[in-house]
Amino acid sequence: MIVVLKPNISKKDEAAVIKEIKQLGYKPHVMRGVERTVIGAIGDERTHQTLEVLTSWAQVENVMPVQKRYKLVSREGHKENSQIDVRGTIIGGKKFQVMAGPCSVEDEKQIMATAVAVKKAGATILRGGAFKPRTSPYEFQGLGEKGLKLLAKARKETGLPVITELLSEAHSEMVAEYTDIIQIGARNAQNFQLLIAAAKTGKPIMLKRGLSMKIEEWLLAGEYVLSNGNPNLMFCERGIRTFETYTRNTLDLSAVPIVKNESHCPVVIDPSQGAGRSDLVSAMCKGAVAMGADALLIEVHPNPADARSDGAQQVTLEGFAKLMQELKPFIAAAGRE
């Protein structure tokens, strides 16, 4: 069941509802949004009294059953779009957000130059990999904590919030110390213990779609975040593995309206991983905006030819600035700012 509280109620009134949910035999999961609070109540209605009795409470707006396997990410009980506040940058609101930066943090000069350039071009969040999941153990694995410190320095210099990937439960506290958004990559999309550890840091989570993941599996993976007390979840489509070899992956833009229809969580598109080719990034970005995505995650590098990872899919600083100008009419046509 989903219990929707009225806007602007006091903490005392909210606590009273939560206490009653527990007394009725349900486990409450509180999701505090920008405008209102929603409580997911998990329990067996066959053996416990129905929560519909709460509709008589002055502080409760509505009580609704949820039929989907994914309860908390479902739009059935949470009709309004969720918004995530990241240091004042709202993801899922009226303003369209762009996360940009290198695939890997390589050194201070590279990350600082990129951060300054992408901010000047209009990016609102800085991305960069400190820990890199590579197919081969002999490829560049990232700078680790040194990379995290460089991202934090770039944030201090530019004011841009930071997003970076978490690969290990053992690193969850370390990564949370430096980043503003934790990314869970495609290879770990169903690493449920990692999802739980990430959720418990309290940081907003961006969950990428797995390499061959069905949308229902993706939504259920997101349920691990919300059911562990973290309401700040966004989904990121980054391409799935198909028979096609012309592109690195097949970017499934249909996932945007599908997930938007099924879930209240914001949706991000990663055209860089999705296509694996920098020459296709612009077209994929425009398509993502038109399909209703809330944000883009774009790989940008000062010199992609010398990049230590995934140079073929990273756009140049000049190319990114041009792309941001090209996106403006698409963003306006989509009714965003």
Q: Which of 69-78, 106-115, 225-234 has the lowest mean pLDDT?
A: 69-78
Please compute the mean of the pLDDT values over residues 123-136 and round it to a whole number: 91
Spatial separation of the C-alpha atoms in residues 99 and 204, rounded to whole Å: 14
CA nearest to 287, candidates 240, 331, 243: 331
Q: Is the pLDDT of residue 116 over 80?
A: yes
Q: Using 50, 70 and 90 to split pLDDT, how confident is the model at 175?
A: very high
Coil, helix or strand at residue 80: coil
Spatial separation of the C-alpha atoms in residues 231 and 80, rounded to whole Å: 14
Q: Which residues are registered as beta bridge partners of 259?
A: none
Please compute the mean of the pLDDT values over residues 106-125 and round it to a whole number: 98
pLDDT of residue 197: 98
| Length of the chain in terms of residues written | 337
pLDDT of residue 164: 98
With 0.75 as the threshold, say if the pTM is over it: yes
Q: How far is CA 102 from CA 16, 68, 76, 224, 275, in A?
A: 47, 38, 37, 29, 16
CA nearest to 28, candidates 41, 14, 15, 45: 41
The answer to whether 151 and 111 are in contact (CB under 8 A) is yes
Q: Using 50, 70 and 90 to split pLDDT, how confident is the model at 326?
A: very high
pLDDT of residue 240: 96
Q: Is the pLDDT of residue 267 over 80?
A: yes
Q: Is the pLDDT of residue 250 over 80?
A: yes
pLDDT of residue 232: 96
Q: Is the pLDDT of residue 36 over 80?
A: no
Q: Is the pLDDT of residue 286 over 70?
A: yes
pLDDT of residue 73: 95
The answer to whether 194 and 168 are in contact (CB under 8 A) is yes
Please compute the mean of the pLDDT values over residues 191-217 and round it to a whole number: 97
- Tokens 């069941």, residue located: 1
pLDDT of residue 40: 87
In this structure, the number of other CB atoms found within 10 A of the CB of residue 107 comes to: 12
pLDDT of residue 37: 87
Q: Using 50, 70 and 90 to split pLDDT, how confident is the model at 265?
A: very high
pLDDT of residue 45: 66
Q: Is the pLDDT of residue 102 over 90?
A: yes
Please compute the mean of the pLDDT values over residues 25-36 and round it to a whole number: 82
Residue 168 vs residue 133, higher pLDDT: 168
Backbone phi, psi, residue 208, to 5°: -80, 155
pLDDT of residue 46: 62
Q: Is the pLDDT of residue 241 over 70?
A: yes
Q: Is the pLDDT of residue 245 over 90?
A: yes
Domains and CATH numbers, the chain: 2-64 (3.30.70.1140), 84-333 (3.20.20.70)
